[in-house]
Amino acid sequence: MEEVIWERLRDANIPVLPMIRASTAAKAVDAANVLGYPVVMKILSPDISHKSDVGGVVLSLGSDGEVEAAYHTMMERVISMVSNARIKGVVLQKMAQPGLEVIVGAKRDPQFGHVIMFGLGGIFVEICRDVSFRVTPVDREMARQMILEIKGSPILGGARGRTAVDMEKIIDVITGLSLLLDKYPEILELDINPLVVYPDGAYAVDARMLSH
Amino acid sequence: MTLKSIFEPDSIAVVGASASPGKWGNSIVKNLLDSGFKGEVYPVNPREQEILGRTCYSSVLDIPGPVDLAVIAVPISLVFEVTDECGKKGIKGIIMITAGFSETGDEGRQLEKRLIEIIERYGMRLIGPNTLGVVNSKIGMNASIISRLPNPGGISFITQSGTLGLALADWTMEMGLGLNIVVSTGNKANIDDVDLLEYLDEDSNTNVIAMYVEGVNRGREFMNVAKRISKPILAVKAGRTESGSKAVFSHTGSLAGSDEVYSAAFKQAGIIRVENIDDLFDSALALSVQPAPRGKRVGIISNGGGASIIASDACERMGLDIPELQLETRERIKELVSGFASARNPVDTAGLAGYDVYNGIVRQMLLDPNIDAMIVIYVHTVMWDASISARAIVDIHRGTCSKPIIACWMGGAGTEKGVNILKEGGLPNYPVPERAVKALASLVKHHGFLENVKERV
């Protein structure tokens, strides 16, 4: 599943952070060197959807030694917490530069079919529920309206001395997701969370997908 | 297929008609006879000879002439036989009052499937089952258990709640609201919202469509039909507080509850979503008698400062603007009122509510290119006659005014005469400013939908 979603996102021209999978500690170290430090390590298992809840995510690994140690610790922790999970190794990702975190998601509604959600990430989506929705297909103008519609939208435009983020890139992601949903009606739920947005560009840093 | 047999029949059979007052089978016959329906009404019941002075037939097959519509209110065990007979008779429309179908669970769902098989076999169309019926006030047809026929008017109402339909007639009479078609959809086993919207779009007597929705069956088709309809469509969606799915796979999954999805779908289809039934009919009233404004810049006049401030605040909350008047307009207004009055928007007449003041100021404000719509407030005091100010506004309205005017005659007792003049003059009136502003906001919203959402045909 983990693999499939990244492939789908890349197909939809949604930019994703470079990542390499590894099934041993040594291969993880090699991968980290190819990507360049610092890196993030995530458990790779079709049975675990909330990776961080089971110790399956480690951020800011800065050296070969740290990667090797993290690999062993992660395997032990995950296996002790979810003993029956199939573990396929880990995924190493280049650590994302700090940027503005937003969420772009989708759900298939029983009456209306696919809907797309947009919101600011982190506490904004979890606590304030400051999100907007559109039934697909969503074109660029509708995507722009979705972004402007949330209460926190001035933050994207560079409120309080922040630099404005790349709104066109978010629109690309929303419309790309709309096309992707069109192509794969079996998708039930999908979150790109976070999509980290910069003044120039954006990256899907994590994503989850549930299909029929 | 056309729904004319259901909404505009020439002849109606009431299957399960009863001679006992208080029974539904009796009320329906009585309502049809009392409502002024010009066509034939045939009671059907094998145990009766005559009901309310009409010959009673033992089966629809015994009725001598053709029948367009059958209203069926028999026990569920007899439903299949009598529906089959309706098919044989060549009846095209069925209103199935009888309940006990899919709304009761799996067993009922099976019964409903069986019913639909019969309906489809004969190419009939069906409202319900589990409906309280259909009203078409234009042709005086009350094929329902709603005891009073609403006043005729341009608003048609689709309700998924039967009891709401029942409460409706009295309510609308109180509000001075004119209804055209009222349809209680019941289980929507055959005719659903999509069919009804298509029919009401073509119905020349309907100019506003109001809906009470619990859920729609064909979401995408529903949106597509609504998008093609330029008549205002208003909807209350019940279950507003329902949260998303309980299982937390994704944030989107947990946040996209059906309510959020309906909001998005309505907005994308150009359906004005309102909070509750009060708002539904307040807005429907304004939309049925007033033109849509070109923009959202509102002019407000009042004879008492407080009311216009409340109205201005409400406008701001609802996203409507209160612009400055043009200098020329302000000067003309100053000529009409005493030096104490404010000639700025909202205009305060400092207590004056005479004919010339109200007529003159509102006229000037409507001419101002900065103003798209007017809210005219009159706060009743014993010093003034509420009917004079009402006449002053109605006289403007009767002229060639393309900008909407919403009235708010406050003060209850003593304003009745004025309120009646407004009503007769086609001005929507509300007893408090917030309701007037909400209704105006719906007009503005509809204009926005016409510009940006609705597909031009």
Least Cα separation, residue A56 to chain B (angstroms):
17
Span B280-301, average pLDDT: 94
Does A62 contact chain B (CB < 8 Å)?
A: no
Q: Residues B87, B90, B96, CA angle at the centre, nearest 5°?
A: 50
Span B139-167, average pLDDT: 86
Span A32-39, average pLDDT: 93
pLDDT at B340: 64
Q: Give B220's contacts in chain A (Cβ within 8 Å).
A: 112-113, 135
B310 pLDDT more than 60: yes
pLDDT at A80: 87
A115, A193, A208 member nearest B256 (Cβ):
A115
Strand bridging mode B69-72 / A113-120: unpaired
Span B234-253, average pLDDT: 68
CA distances from B187 to B103, B108, B161, B162, B257 (A): 7, 11, 10, 10, 22
Q: How confident is the model at residue A52 (pLDDT cuts 50, 70, 90)?
A: confident
Q: Do B268 and A135 touch (CB under 8 A)?
A: yes
Which sign, positive or negative, has the C-alpha torsion A34, A35, A41, A42? negative
B249, B250, B261 member nearest A112 (Cβ):
B261
Span B407-414, average pLDDT: 89
**Which residues are bridge partners to B299 per DSSP?**
B374
In this structure, what is the dihedral angle of CA atoms A190, A196, A200, A201, given to the nearest 10 degrees? -30
What whole-number distance in Å separates Cα of residue B374 and Cα of residue B361?
Answer: 11
A125, A133, A208 member nearest B261 (Cβ):
A133
Q: Do B251 and A105 touch (CB under 8 A)?
A: yes
pLDDT at B224: 97
Q: State the average pLDDT for chain A.
A: 90
Q: State the average pLDDT for chain B.
A: 91
SS (H, E, C) A140-164: HHHHHHHHHHCCCHHHHCCHHHCCC
Least confident of B30-34, B295-299, B323-327, B452-456: B452-456
What whole-number distance in Å separates Cα of residue B436 and Cα of residue B416?
Answer: 17
pLDDT at B400: 62
What whole-number distance in Å separates Cα of residue A167 and Cα of residue A169?
Answer: 5
pLDDT at B207: 96
Question: Where are any strands of DSSP class E within A12-144?
Answer: 19-22, 39-43, 57-61, 90-94, 100-109, 113-120, 131-135
What whole-number distance in Å separates Cα of residue B44 and Cα of residue B60?
Answer: 7
CB B4 within 8 A of CB B33: no
- Structure-block tokens of residue A77: 């922790």
Q: How confident is the model at residue B284 (pLDDT cuts 50, 70, 90)?
A: very high
pLDDT digits (tens, 9 = 90+) for B67-79: 999 999 999 999 9
Q: Is the ipTM of this complex over 0.90?
A: no
What whole-number distance in Å separates Cα of residue B400 and Cα of residue A44?
Answer: 72
Q: Give B263's contacts in chain A (Cβ within 8 Å).
A: 133
Contacts of B353 (CB under 8 A, 6+ apart): B303, B378, B384, B388, B389
Span B40-59, average pLDDT: 96
Does B448 contact chain A (CB < 8 Å)?
A: no
pLDDT digits (tens, 9 = 90+) for B172-230: 777 778 899 999 999 999 999 999 999 999 999 999 999 999 889 899 999 999 999 99
Q: Do B251 and A107 touch (CB under 8 A)?
A: no
* Residue from B250, B254, B260, B453 whose CB has the most chain A CBs within 10 Å, to mutate: B250
Peptide bond into A18 cis (omega under 30): no
**Gyration radius of chain B over CA positions:** 25
